[in-house]
Amino acid sequence: MKIFIGTDHRGVEIKKQIKEYLEKQGHEIILSSLPNSENDDYPDFAFETAKKVTNVQESLGILICGNGIGISIAANKVKDIRCARVTTKEEAFAARNHNGANMIAFGGLSFELVKEIIDEFINTPFATEERHLKRIQKITDYEKGIYNEP
């Protein structure tokens, strides 16, 4: 699977660990091409990485910043992105299986927990239950400007 990873300066070290971990599993990892510095801004990494995910079918994205909140908000501004800030593997499952997330974001977590979260996210199938698909479709329709108020 092709997985895109973007991080601001607060996730540089864990990004390296994630890349190595996922490559050992056979995934193709593409890191953000933007340089990290003390003064970098998480929206830049969110936008760049999210656009790549939307351009490559069946790909996923991982974003890292101080706490995952800002970078996930920024990523969700990109059309066709559903990025969830997650802190547990249960949230990673729900993000993928219930909400159709194609990206996750986090920050400030141990590498052991990050591995569990990423494994759960990657190995969880996209939503299949009608109730979840209906909700995802409503989000997609709203994004396209065709949402009908209930």
**Catalytic sites, residue numbers:** 65, 98
Closest by CA to 114, choosing from 146, 74, 93, 86, is: 86
Q: Using CA atoms, how far apart are residues 5 and 76, in angstroms rounded to an integer?
A: 15
Q: Using CA atoms, how far apart are residues 108 and 130, in angstroms rounded to an integer?
A: 35
The amino acid present at 141, given as its one-letter code, is: D
Q: Using CA atoms, how far apart are residues 130 and 20, in angstroms rounded to an integer?
A: 37
User: For residues 54 and 79, is the Cβ–Cβ distance under 8 A?
Assistant: yes
Distances (CA, A) of 69 to 72, 87, 106, 147: 5, 11, 7, 26
User: For residues 115 and 19, is the Cβ–Cβ distance under 8 A?
Assistant: no
